[in-house]
C-alpha cells in the first residue's frame, strides 16, 4: 500500500519457538489513529512488540516506509521513528523525572515540550521515578518516548489501572499529539469506548489474528461484535 508508513505482511511471531501472532496483515497510514482491541491474551502486546523487534519473527515482513526492518534491533527502529510506550512503563526508578527525560532526548526535542503536555511532571521534575504515582509514571513514560521524536507512537494499555480523571487527561494528550496529522498513533487499549472515540480505524484481535478491521465508528455501532470478541460494549 503506497500511502502507508508501517506494514506487517503475513507476520507470524512470538517468543522463542512459540507462535503468538499468526498471519497478521496490518497497514498503518501516515497520521492515522488506529485502535487495537481484543481480550487479554489476544496478541495485542505481542503485535506492538513485533513492530519494535522485541519478539521472534517466524514468517513475514515488517516494513517502515517501504523498507524492511526485520533484522533491526529495537534501538535502531526507535531511531527510525518508532516509539513504544510499554504496558510496564519501564521508567528509570532511580533517576529523577528530568533525568529520565534527558536520557531519552534526541534531536530538537526539549523539556519544555514535555512539561507543556504534562505540567505535573514539571512540578515533580526533581522527584525520583519511584516517588511518582501510577498516573505520573505513565505521564513520564509517554513524555520520555516523545523525547525520541517518534513518527509512529505505539501505546500499550496506557490507561490500565489509572483513575478516570487521569485517563481523561491522557486521552486529551493523545488527541493533541495526533491533531496535526504528523504522527501515527497505534493504541492498544481495554477501554474500548475511549479507544474507539479516539481512533479513526480499528482492528479486533482474537487468538493472535486480526478478525475484523474497519472504521472505528462502525465498530462503535456494533456492540454485539465487540461483546463477542472483547466481552464489553460501548455506549451509543
What is the pLDDT, as a whole number, of residue 34?
A: 98
- CA 62 to CA 113: how far, in whole Å? 31
> In this predicted structure, what is the pLDDT of residue 233?
52
User: Coil, strand or helix: which one is 88?
Assistant: coil
On the question of pLDDT at 87 being above 60, the answer is: yes
Position 235 scores a pLDDT of 45
Exposed, middle or buried: residue 130 (CB in 10 Å: 0-12, 13-18, 19+)? exposed
1-81+183-236 fold = Rossmann fold (3.40.50)
Average pLDDT estimate for 81-93: 94
| Residues 7, 1 contacting (CB under 8 angstroms) | yes
Distance of CA 213 to the CA centre of its chain: 17
How would you write 98-121 as a 3-class SS string?
Answer: HHHHHHHCCCCCCHHHHHHHCHHH
Residues 6 or more apart whose CB falls under 8 angstroms from that of 21 comprise 11, 12, 13, 14, 43, 46, 47, 50, 55, 208, 209
Residues 159-207 have pLDDT tens digits of 999 999 999 999 999 999 999 899 999 999 989 999 999 999 999 999 9
Helix 134-146 with 164-178: angle, nearest 10 deg = 10
pLDDT (tens digit, 9 = 90+) per residue, 106-158?
988 999 999 999 999 999 999 999 999 999 999 999 999 999 999 999 999 99
State the Cα–Cα distance between residues 31 and 6, nearest whole angstrom.
Answer: 11
Q: Scanning the structure block, which residue is given the C-alpha cell 513520564?
A: 140
Nearest Cα residue to 157 out of 184, 190, 134, 183: 190
* Average of per-residue pLDDT across 215-235: 82
Rounded to two decimals, what is the model's pTM?
0.94
Q: How far apart are CA 43 and CA 22, in angstroms?
A: 9
Using alpha carbons only, how large is the chain's radius of gyration in Å? 17
Q: Are the beta carbons of 10 and 23 closer than 8 angstroms?
A: yes
Amino acid at each position: 500500500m503506497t500511502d502507508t508508513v508501517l506494514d506487517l505482511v503475513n507476520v507470524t511471531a512470538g517468543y522463542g519457538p512459540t507462535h503468538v501472532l499468526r498471519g497478521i496483515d496490518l497497514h498503518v497510514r501516515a497520521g492515522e489513529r488506529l485502535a487495537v482491541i481484543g481480550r487479554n491474551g489476544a496478541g495485542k502486546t505481542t503485535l506492538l512488540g513485533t513492530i519494535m523487534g522485541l519478539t521472534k519473527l517466524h514468517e513475514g515482513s515488517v516494513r517502515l516506509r517501504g523498507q524492511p526492518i526485520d533484522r533491526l534491533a529495537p534501538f535502531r527502529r526507535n531511531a527510525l521513528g518508532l516509539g513504544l510506550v510499554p504496558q510496564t512503563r519501564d521508567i528509570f526508578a532511580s533517576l529523577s523525572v528530568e533525568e529520565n527525560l534527558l536520557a531519552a532526548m534526541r534531536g530538537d526535542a526539549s523539556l519544555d515540550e514535555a512539561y507543556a503536555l504534562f505540567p505535573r511532571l514539571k512540578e515533580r521534575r526533581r522527584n525520583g521515578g519511584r516517588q511518582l504515582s501510577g498516573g505520573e509514571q505513565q505521564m513520564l513514560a509517554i513524555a520520555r518516548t516523545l523525547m525520541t521524536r517518534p513518527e509512529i507512537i505505539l501505546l500499550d494499555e496506557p490507561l490500565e489501572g489509572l483513575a478516570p480523571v487521569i485517563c481523561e487527561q491522557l486521552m486529551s494528550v493523545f488527541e493533541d499529539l495526533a491533531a496535526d496529522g504528523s504522527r501515527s498513533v497505534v493504541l492498544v487499549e481495554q477501554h474500548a469506548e475511549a479507544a474507539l472515540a479516539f481512533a479513526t480505524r480499528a482492528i479486533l484481535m482474537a487468538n493472535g489474528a486480526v478478525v475484523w478491521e474497519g472504521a472505528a465508528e462502525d465498530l462503535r455501532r456494533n456492540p454485539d461484535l465487540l461483546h463477542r470478541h472483547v466481552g464489553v460494549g460501548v455506549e451509543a
